[in-house]
Structure formats: C-alpha cells, structure tokens
A and B are shown apart, each in its own frame.
Chain A
Amino acid sequence: MPSISHLIEEFIRTFPFFLKPLLLTFELTFASVVVGTVIGLFVALLKISKFPIGPIIANVYITVIRGTPLIVQIFVLYFGFYKVVDLGQFWSAALALAVHSGAYIAEIFRGAIQSIDKGQLEAGLSLGMSPAQTMRRIILPQALKRSIPPLGNQFILSLKESSLAAFIAMDELFAMARRLSAETFDEMTFFLIVAVYYLVIVMLFTYLVNKMEKRLAKGDS
C-alpha cells in the first residue's frame, strides 16, 4: 500500500493532469443522461401505449439492454455508431452510454407514470381533454417530479459507468489513471486517487439529490 503522504503528494502533483479528464467525464455523463432521458421518456410512453407493437418494441429494447454487459454494449454501439454514421468519438461514446441508461430511465418513467392516481386521468378526460392532452398536461408533470430522485441515482450510476469509456479511447478520469499508472508503475496510487475523484463527485451529487428530494417533498400534500 502506498503511504498516505505519498498519495497526497501524487494527488497534488497530478491534479492538473486530471482537470481535462474530469471535465470530459462530466460531459460524457451529462450528455448521456440528457439523451438517455429523452430515450427513456419515449420508450416509457411506447411501453404504456395502446399500439400493440409499442410495448413489444419497448420490451425488446429494455430486455436486450438489461440482459447484456455494459462493456459489450459500449463496444457494439461505439463501433456501430463510429463506423456507420461517424458521429465523432465523443458522441459515439455518449450515445452508447445514453442507449444503455435509456433502458433504466424508461423503467423509472414508466413506474412514475403508473404511480399517478387513476383519478387524475379520469378528471382530465371528464373535462373533455383527450387522452394525449391529459397525459401531457396532467400526468407527465406529476410523474416527472416523482422521477427526479431515481433519476438522480441514475445520474450517479451513469457517472461511474462512464469510466468504461476509457476502453474506447476516451481520455476521461479512468483513462488518465490508467495512463499515469502505466507510466510510473505506481498502479495502486493512481487507482486509489481516481477512486477518490469518483467518490467525491458522487457524494456531492448525492447530497444535492437528497436536498432536492426534501424540497420537492415539501410541495406534496
């Protein structure tokens, strides 16, 4: 085990090297969560839709994504995107992560939508609103609010999972740790340091999500 003082020294020395990767990790996470949220909402609506083929498509997508390892998905999607439509490295990686988290986000939204009291739909319909208007104006706003805490968790998962992008040539946090450990043969030091980076970000974010959750809970009856 490296000593604490050695870890701190190396942390401070290499801090400038980690800044850009840190930013890239954030960008990857943020892009994949935003796109994943759009995918998730679309798939959730497909899954509860009345078109007979909608739920089938949604289920196939969710089953495949949840049933295969993320690293495999990343390689397949990355090379798929990269070679077929060439979106550039960043977006290929971000989309691969988004398609992955989209499946989980879809289930978050579906659960939230179905948790809204049936009386809300009936009230909207009884006022002459169409089912689509009721969904958009009445059900979704309430469901999205209920989705925020689990979406926060998904964000944390996505942040950690973005480390797998190191394997498709993204110079994010974990890639930097691998490079520094390869250069210095001081593997433990840099993997511990990168663990601290992730841990601190996750703890900060958890704190923010909890705070937001409390504030949202206040508005509820």
Chain B
Amino acid sequence: MSEKQAMIRVQNLKKSFGAVEVLKDINLEVKKGEVVVLIGASGSGKSTLIRCINFLEIKNGGDIFIEGKSIDPKKDDLSKVRQKVGMVFQHFNLFPHKTVLENVIEAPLIVRKINKEEAKKEAMQLLKKVGLEEKADVYPSALSGGQKQRVAIARSLAMKPEIMLFDEPTSALDPELVGEVLETMKQLAREGMTMIIVTHEMGFAKDVADWVAFMDKGKILELAAPHEIFNHPKEERTREFLTRVL
C-alpha cells in the first residue's frame, strides 16, 4: 500500500450547507492508478465529497491533499489544482455555443495556452478514443446523452489531468446509452487513470473499482475491495442498501 504515492488524501473533511451537516469527518486516500467508487443513497454526501475535492464546494473543516500538498482554497490558485483534477458531471455541462471540437480545445487553448493546430490534433485523438471523431463539427444539441457524456470525458482529458472525478456520469442517461459511457470509463481505468466515481451502477463498480466506499449520512461507513463489500458487507446499513439496489 505504501510504496505508491497518495494522489488524493482527504482528512477529517467536514462540509455543511447552512445547518445541515452533509459531510462529517471524511477520511479517504486514493493512490495513483486506483479507482475508487462511492456508493450510497441519495443525500449521503457522495457528490458533495467529490465536489469538495475539486473545490466546487468549499470545505468547512479538515484537509484535502492533492499530490501530497494541502490545498487552501483561499490562498492557493484553484485553477492550477483543477488542471490536475478533471471532472465529469451528471448533466454533461457541455458548452452549447461551441462545436464538439471547440468544446474539447477550449481549455487547452485558454489555460494550457498551446497553439490551435496542436490543440486540434490532440482533441481529434481524444475524440477518436471516445469514438466520436466524426462528430467533431456538430453542436452538442445534435448529440445523444451518451455521446454528450463521452465528449465531456474527452474535454476533461484534454487538460491531461492526473485524476478524474465522475459525478454520477450515467444517471441522466437513457438506459440503452449507459453502456457506451461505462465502456469509455473502463478503458480509462485500464490505462491507469486515477479515478473517483460516484455511481449507482453496481455491476460497473464490481468490475472496475479497486475500492468501494459506502457512504451513509455524511460518513464513509465502509471501505473495502468490491468483492468484500458486495459479498460480505460488514455494516448493517451497507447490507440494507445493497439489497435494495442489487
């Protein structure tokens, strides 16, 4: 366990929205190349946790280390941090006024400041990887949900992140479109991308996760290898949850 560096370390993380405590003392470590899947009922704090790791929500307490460095959202340049940490959203959040290709090259042009030719070349490779090179010049409104999400993944990869966060990437998709997005994510996992994934796709979690974390009421109740969690859950709440979703 210890020879690999912790890409992300979350220590005693606390987050409240007003009087509601959404995250209570979360501890989590993700090493390079690991895939951690967060499961749990809605409202258990899964999404809030990965949003905190990307500083889209600002923690109320505790520490978040990215590649060993504690990040202070008030002092540190969050843009720099986020360049290392890609994020894929439930509702894709593609830029509707830009074509697929323009969506993918936007951040490399503006943030990495590479030239347009290079950005296009990289983008086309990424679009090929997600199987959408022929859609480069269409607008997002002409894509299916699954295609949109694959473009969103390509857009995020274009920043060459070290870590990818997925916030329920298939929850807004029609059932027949879920597979293509999961396949893309599996491919990323095989390539050794460090990932934290919030999902309700238990089959996917079994296949891809190195670790599965079960969250309940703002806490990580149980963290174990997938076969442990799915076959021998230790906690009563985990058992209850799994019988409901499996």
| Proximity string of chain B (104-144) to chain A, C-beta cutoff 8 Å, 1 when within and 0 when not | 00110011000000000000000000000000000111000
- Output the least CB separation between B42 and chain A (Å): 18
Instruction: Give Cα distance in the complex from A141 to B106, angstroms.
Output: 14
B217 contacts partner chain A, Cβ-Cβ < 8 Å = no
Asked if B96 and A220 sit within 8 Å, CB to CB, the answer is yes
B33 contacts partner chain A, Cβ-Cβ < 8 Å = no
Asked if B56 and A128 sit within 8 Å, CB to CB, the answer is no
| Proximity string of chain A (123-143) to chain B, C-beta cutoff 8 Å, 1 when within and 0 when not | 101111110010001100110
Q: Are A126 and B82 CB-contacts (below 8 A) given A119-B89, A138-B95?
A: yes
- Output the least CB separation between B17 and chain A (Å): 15
Chain B residues, Cβ within 8 Å of A141: 97
Which chain A residues (100-148) contact chain B, with CB distance < 8 Å?
117, 119-120, 122-123, 125-130, 133, 137-138, 141-142, 145
Choice from A119, A120, A127, A138 contacting B111 with Cβ under 8 Å: A127
Chain B residues, Cβ within 8 Å of A120: 93, 95
A5 contacts partner chain B, Cβ-Cβ < 8 Å = no
Asked if A127 and B93 sit within 8 Å, CB to CB, the answer is no
Asked if B54 and A126 sit within 8 Å, CB to CB, the answer is yes
Asked if A127 and B96 sit within 8 Å, CB to CB, the answer is no
Chain A residue nearest in CB terms to B155: A127
Chain A residue nearest in CB terms to B80: A128
Asked if B95 and A128 sit within 8 Å, CB to CB, the answer is no
- Output the least CB separation between A120 and chain B (Å): 6
Which chain A residues (207-221) contact chain B, with CB distance < 8 Å?
219-221
Asked if B159 and A128 sit within 8 Å, CB to CB, the answer is yes
Chain B residues, Cβ within 8 Å of A117: 91, 93
Choice from B56, B94, B97, B110 contacting A126 with Cβ under 8 Å: B56
Q: Are A127 and B107 CB-contacts (below 8 A) given A120-B95, A220-B96, A221-B96?
A: yes
How many A-B residue pairs have C-beta atoms within 8 angstroms? Tell me. 70
The main secondary structure of chain A at its interface with chain B is helix
| Proximity string of chain B (220-231) to chain A, C-beta cutoff 8 Å, 1 when within and 0 when not | 000000000000
Asked if B91 and A126 sit within 8 Å, CB to CB, the answer is no
- Output the least CB separation between A163 and chain B (Å): 37
- Output the least CB separation between B231 and chain A (Å): 35
Asked if A137 and B139 sit within 8 Å, CB to CB, the answer is no
Most B CB atoms within 10 A — which of A123, A126, A141?
A: A126
Most B CB atoms within 10 A — which of A123, A219, A220?
A: A123
Which chain A residues (4-43) contact chain B, with CB distance < 8 Å?
none
Instruction: Give Cα distance in the complex from A211 to B133, angstroms.
Output: 34
- Output the least CB separation between B71 and chain A (Å): 14
Chain A residues, Cβ within 8 Å of B139: 219, 221
Using a CB–CB cutoff of 8 Å, the interface residues on chain B facing chain A are 54, 56, 78-80, 82-83, 85-87, 89, 91, 93-97, 106-107, 110-111, 139-141, 152, 155-156, 159
Complex A-B: 15 CB contacts under 8 Å: A119-B89, A119-B93, A122-B89, A123-B87, A123-B152, A126-B56, A127-B159, A128-B83, A128-B159, A133-B110, A137-B110, A142-B97, A145-B97, A219-B141, A220-B96
